[in-house]
Structure 1
Amino acid sequence: MSIDPRTPVVVGVGQAAERIDDADYRGMSPVELAAAATEAALADTGADAARIATAIDAVVATRAFENSIPKAPAPLGKSNNFPRSVARLIGADPARAVLDKVGGQGPQKLLTEFAGEIVAGTADVVLLCGSDATSTLRHFAGAENKPDFTETIDGQLEDRGYGLEDFIEHYTVIHGLTGAPVQYGLLENARRARLGLGTADYLQAMAELFAPMTKIAAKNPFSASPVERSIDELATISSSNRMICDPYPRLLVARDQVNQGAAVLLMSVEAARRLGVPENRWVYLHGHADMREQRLLERPDLSSYPAAVVATTEALAMAGIGFDDVAAMDLYSCFPVPVFNICDAFGLTADDPRGLTLTGGLPFFGGAGNNYSMHAIAEAVAAARSVPGQFALVGANGGMQSKYSVGVYSSTPVAWTADRSSELQAGLDAGPTVAVTEHADGPATIETYSVRYDWETRTGIIIGRLDADGSRFLATTEDDDLVALLSDGEPLGTAITVRALDYGNRCSLR
C-alpha cells in the first residue's frame, strides 16, 4: 500500500539498566541512564546513529523520581533541563525540549501525541525518553563521597508542570492517602468486596496473577529483580515479604528501587527514508486511546476502571482486531487491581499463554516511576518486529486508576487515524457520580479500607457510606478494636460511627 510520507513510525527503541550489586556498577545519573537508552535506540534503527541524533527536532522526557514532587530533595543534585541534558550527551540539539507531567500513562500518551504532531508537520524526528535512578540515589544519599548529578544547561524547555492536581487533593492527603499502596489498597479491597472473597482467597488470587510475571522478569536482562518466585512465596507474609498497606505484602507492589532508562525514536516515513532507516525496523501505531477516570471518591464503583476498558476497547477497534488477535501485551501492573480490571473486562486469565507482561511487571522488572511504560513500548516494538504482522498491546496506567493510555503496535503498514478519545471522554464525564460528604458525622458502614503498616502507629484508612443519605466519606482510625478488625478480620460492611474533627474525620466501631 502507498503510505503518506507524514505517517509516524517507531524506528528505534532502547533500554539501559544497572544494579548496585553488578560487578560493573557505575552509579549512573538519571540523565546518563536515559542517554544510554537513547544510544541503544539510535543503534536499534540500523542506520547512521550520529546522523539521526543530529536530525532530532524534539526531545520529550518523562519526569524522574526526584523531579516528580515540588521542592522534593535531590540528594545527589539534578539537571535543570533534563531533556536537553540527555540531548547533549547524544550529540543532539533539538529545537524543542519537553518535560511532561507526572503519570504512568505518560510514555504511551506522549507517543500518541507526538505521532499526531508528526502527521501535522510540527515535528519530524522525535526522541521520547526517561529514567529513574532511585536505587543509586538512596545508595549514595548518606555517603560522604557521593556523586554530584547537578547540571545547569541553557536552552528552551517546555515544562508542563507536575500535574499532581489530577491525582491528589487536600481532603485525601489529610486522611492518609499520601502514597500509591494505600490508595490502591482501597480499590483492591473494593474489588474483593464486589467478588465476595475472603482475605486469604483474595491474597491467593493476587499471588496467582503476579507469579507468572516473575518468570518473565527473571529472564529480562534489564530487570531490577530478576528472580522467579512461586505463588506461595508471593502470598506468604514474612520478614522479607512484610505487609506494606492492606492487602499488599511487599512483593505485590511496584518496586521503586531501580536504575533504569528507556527511549523510543519516532519519525515520519519521509524522515525514515531520508535517514536510511531500513523498513524492517518500522513499527506502526495501529490503535490508540487516552482516557481519564472520574474523581476518586465520586466513582460509582471503586472496584472497576471504566476509563481503562473504554481506552482498550477503542484502541483495539481502531486496529480492527479483538483481544484474541493480540499476540503480546503489557498490562500496567503497579498493583494487581489495574491488571484484574482489564482481565475482568476482556476475559483474560492469570495463566494466559501470551503472558500479561512483556517486561516482567512493575513489582519484579521494576516500577521506573513515570517511565515504566517506555520499557513496555520498547518490548512491544521488539515483539511486533519479531513476527511481521502480529500485534502487541501496551496498556499504561497513571494516578489512582486515574488515566489510561493504550497503544496497539504492528509492523504492518497502516495509515494514521485519529482516535475518538474526546468523544468517548465526554460520555464518561457525563456518567453518574456518588455524593461526597467531606465533614462526615454519624452512623455509617465501611465500603472499603486499607491499613497503613508503614506509619509509627498502625492506622486504618476507611471509605465509608453515611447511613443517613448514602454519601461517601473518608476517615482514619487508630481505635484498637477497629484497627484489629481491619488488620485481621473482615471489616467490609461493618457498622461504624464517624466524627468530623478540625483535622479530618475519625471513626470507631459502633
Structure 2
Amino acid sequence: MALPADRTPVIIGVGEFVDRPTDPAAALEPLALMEAAIRAADADAGGSFLDRIDSLDVINLVSWRYDRVASRLAERLGIVPARASYGVAGGETPTTRIHEAALRIMNGNSLVAVVTGGEATNAVAKAKAAGIALEWTPPAASPENPIIASDHVTPLAIRHGIAQPVHIYPLYENAAAAAWGQTPAEALAESGQIWSGYAGVAATNPNSWSKTAFTADQITTPTPDNRIITWPYTKRMVANPAVNQAAAVLLTNLELARAAGIPEDRIVYIHGGASAAEPMDYLARDQFTHSVAQDAVLAAALRLAPEGGFDRRELYSCFPIVPKMARRQLGLDADAPFTVTGGLSFFGAPLNTYMTHAVCAMVRSLRKTPSKGALIYGQGGYVTKHHALVVGSFPPEPSSLVTPHDVQDEAEAMRGPIPELDLMYEGEARVETFAIVANRDGTPAYGSVIGRTPDGTRVFARVAANDEDTLALLLDTTRSPIGTGGVVSVTDDGLQRWEA
C-alpha cells in the first residue's frame, strides 16, 4: 500500500546562489547567501511556501562563525519555524538532514521544511589578504557546534602532522590501490580519468566556481600551479573551499505540492536512504583498504535501486579515493558518470554543504530527464560518516522510506579486528599504509607510516625528510610499497620512526 499523499515527502524547490564580487568588501555574508538561496528555492516552487516553513535546518558553517545561526537566518526571512536547527560538521549532513526532513513529513511532524547551507570562504580570505574589515554580522565569541571534535583529530595525529583531510585520505588511497593490485601509476591514472569526468560536468554547470574541463593529465601532473599537496594528490585532486556559494532544498508533502499547482514533472520523491560511520580516530579502524561503513550504506542504497540500477548518481568527491571505493561497491566501471554537479574540486567545495548543491543539481537533472531512481551519496570527516539518499521522479515502493536509516550494525558485522596500537614498539614492521606531505615546492616535507609488527600490532611512525632511501621506496610509482618491511625505532621526541 502506497503512502497517502499527505504523508509522501517530496522536493518541490531548489535554489542556489554564487557570489563573485571583485571587491571582497562587496561580498555577501553567509547569512545573506543562504537567505538568497532559500528565496530562490521558494520561487522555484511557485513562491507560496516561505511563510509555511515549519522546519529549518542550517548546515554547519566554517567561513564565518555566528551564534544563533538558525534563529538569525529565520529572522532575515521573516519566518518563525517551529523547529530551527544548526547542524554539526560533516560533508554528509545535507543528505542526512534532507532524509530526516522527509521522515518528519512522512510521520506527520512537518508540513514544509527547508535545508540550507552557505559559505563565503573566498571573500573572507581576500578581505584578510587586503586588510579589509568585513561589515558583516559580528562573529560569535563562542560559536555554535565545533568545526572538528577533539576526538576526531587526536593529539597524536597533530604531533605527526597527519591531522587534515588531505593527509588522511591518502592513507586509504595508497592502501586500497595495493589491495586492488594497482601500481601507484595505475592508481593515479584512474584518479585522473574519474576527476576529468567531474571537471567536464562542472564546466557545464552554471553554478560552478570553476568551468575548466581539465584533462586527466592536467589534473594529475604536478606543475607550479598544480603542486603536490600530499602524495599522490595534486591541488586539482583536492576539494576547493575558496568559494562563495549557497544552496537550499525545499520539501513538503505530495498533497500540499499538488494543491499549490506544482506540475508532476517538477516533483522529486524521496525514496529512502541509510547512514553508518567509522570510528572517529583513524588509528582505531580495522584497515585502510575500504570502509565497512561506506560498504554498508551503499549496499542499503542498492536495495532501494530500481530494476537495472541507478541511471545517475552523485558520489562524494573530496578526494579521488572516495568515488574509487564507492564505484567498486556499486559495481561501476571507472568511466561511468559519477556526478551531476561537478565535484568538490571543480564545482566548488563550500565545506560541509556541497551535497546541498548536489541535491539541487540532481533535482534539475530529474526534471529534465525523469528516472525511477538516482543515488546521492555524501561523506563526512576522514572517511568517517556516510549517508546515501535515493530519490526519483516517481513515488517510491511502499517499503522504501521505512528502510532502516541507521545500518551501523551491518557495518560492524563486516568490521575486522581493530589492531592494538603500540607506540613504544621497536623492531621490524611492514607498511600497512602511508602518507607523504609535500612542501610548496613539491619536495617531501615529512611522512608517516602506519605499520604492522610480525604479531599484527599497529605502529605509527614518522619518516624523516632527509631519509632519501625510504622516501624513494614510498614514492616509487612502478610498485606499491604496501607490505614492505622496515625497522621502527623510538626517537628522542618520543615518536616512532620507520626506515626502509
> Please, what TM-score do these two structures have when normalized by structure 1?
0.88
Cα deviation, 1:379-423, whole Å, max 9, x if unaligned, reads 11112222334422111111111121111111212346222244x
Structure 1 counterpart of 2:329, from 334, 341, 345: 345
Q: CA deviation at 1:159?
A: 5.6
User: Which letter maps to 2:483?
Assistant: G
Q: Is the 8 A contact 1:383 1:392 kept in 2?
A: no
CA distance in 2, matches of 1:101, 1:471: 34
Matched positions, count: 486
1:57 maps to 2:20: no
Q: Which residue does the alignment assign to 1:296?
A: 282
> Aligned AA for 1:296?
Y
The one of 275, 288, 303 equivalent to 1:317 is 303
Shift of 1:251: 0.8
3-state SS of 2:451 partner:
strand
Match of 2:457 in 1: 471
Residues 85-139 of structure 1 show CA distances to partners (whole Å, capped at 9, x for unaligned) of 3323333222221111111110001111121122223322111000111111101
* 1:371 shift after superposition: 0.3
Q: Which runs of 5+ in 2 are unaligned?
A: none
Report if the CA contact (8 A) 1:394-1:407 is conserved.
Answer: yes
- The answer (yes or no) to whether the contact 2:422–2:459 under 8 Å persists in 1 is yes
**Which secondary structure state, in structure 1, belongs to the residue aligned with residue 338 of structure 2?**
coil
Q: Secondary structure at the match of 2:321?
A: helix
Partners of 1:502 and 1:291 in 2: CA distance: 40
**Which amino acid in the other structure matches residue 265 of structure 1?**
L
Offset at 1:288? 0.9
Q: Which moved more, 1:34-43 or 1:12-21?
A: 12-21
SS of structure 1 residue aligned to 2:130: coil
Q: Which residue in 2 is equivalent to 1:71? A: none
Change over 3 Å in CA distance of 1:466–1:485 after alignment to 2: same
- 1 CA distance for matches of 2:376 and 2:422? 37
Greater mean deviation of Cα atoms: 260-269 or 290-299: 290-299
Asked whether the 8 Å contact 1:475–1:504 carries over to 2, the reply is no
Q: CA deviation at 1:501?
A: 5.7
> Is residue 2:109 matched to residue 1:122?
yes
Pairwise CA distance, 1:273: 4.5
Root-mean-square deviation (CA), in Å?
Answer: 2.7
- Alpha-carbon shift at residue 12 of structure 1 (Å): 0.6
Provide the C-alpha distance between the structure 2 equivalents of 1:302 and 1:168, rounded to a whole number of angstroms.
Answer: 17
Aligned partner letter, 2:285: R
**Which shifted more, 176-185 or 114-123?**
114-123
Partners of 1:458 and 1:504 in 2: how far apart? 19
1:209 to 188, 194, 198: 194
CA deviation vs aligned residue, 1:438-480 (integer Å, no higher than 9, x gap): 414122111111111148981102111123x211122222252
Cα displacement (A) at 1:59: 1.1
For the pair 1:110 / 2:93, whether they are aligned, the reply is no
Shift of 1:205: 1.8
CA distance in 2, matches of 1:497, 1:333: 35
- What CA deviation, in whole Å up to 9, does each residue of 1:212-255 have, x standing for no partner? 21111111111111101112211211111110001101111111
Quickly say closer, same or farther: Cα 1:237–1:162, change in 2 above 3 A: closer
- Quick one: structure 1 residues 501 and 110, their matched pair in 2 at CA, closer, same or farther if it must change by over 3 Å? farther
Partner residue in 2 for 1:198: 183
Counterparts of 1:148-297 in structure 2 under 5 Å? 148-151=135-138, 162=147, 164=149, 167-273=152-258, 275-294=260-279, 296-297=282-283
Give yes or no for contact 2:202–2:346 (8 Å, CA) kept in 1: yes
Partner residue, 1:417: 401
Q: Which residue matches 1:137?
A: 124
Counterpart secondary structure, 2:106: helix
Q: Give the letter for the 2:38 counterpart.
A: T
Hey, what's the Cα distance between the residues in 2 that align with 1:506 and 1:432?
Answer: 25
Deviation at 1:270, TM superposition (A): 4.0
Distance 1:499 1:339 in 2: 36
